[in-house]
Amino acid sequence: MSSAPANETRIAAVSVNHNTSAYMELMLRSFFALHSPRLNCSFTLYDNHSNDEGLASLLDYVSARQIPFVQSGFDLETKYNSHGELLGRFVLEKTDCTHYLFLDSDVCFLEPETIEVMVAELDADDRLFGIGARWSFDGISEIPESMRRDNPRFVTSRLHPCCALVKNTPVFRLVVKAVGLTGVNFVWANGKEYLDTFALMTRVMHTHGLSYCFSSKMIYHFSAVSYKALPNVIHVWKTRQRDERLAALRAKGK
Q: Where are the domains of the chain?
A: 6-251
Give the per-residue pLDDT at 1. 38
Sequence-distant (6+) residues with CB within 8 A of 82 are 16, 48, 72, 74
Under 8 Å between Cβ of 135 and 143: yes
Give the per-residue pLDDT at 2. 41
Distance in angstroms (rounded) separating the CA atoms of residues 108 and 221 = 7
Per-residue pLDDT of the chain (254 residues), as tens digits, is: 344 555 699 999 999 999 999 999 999 999 999 999 999 999 999 999 999 999 999 999 999 999 999 999 999 888 888 999 999 999 999 999 999 999 999 999 999 999 999 999 999 999 999 999 999 999 999 988 887 777 766 667 899 999 999 999 999 999 999 999 999 999 999 999 999 999 999 999 999 999 999 999 999 999 888 877 778 888 899 999 999 999 999 999 88
Q: Does the 6-251 domain belong in CATH 3.20.20.140?
A: no
Strands 99-103 and 163-167: antiparallel
| Dihedral in degrees, nearest 10, Cα atoms 106, 142, 156, 92 | 40
Give the per-residue pLDDT at 111. 97
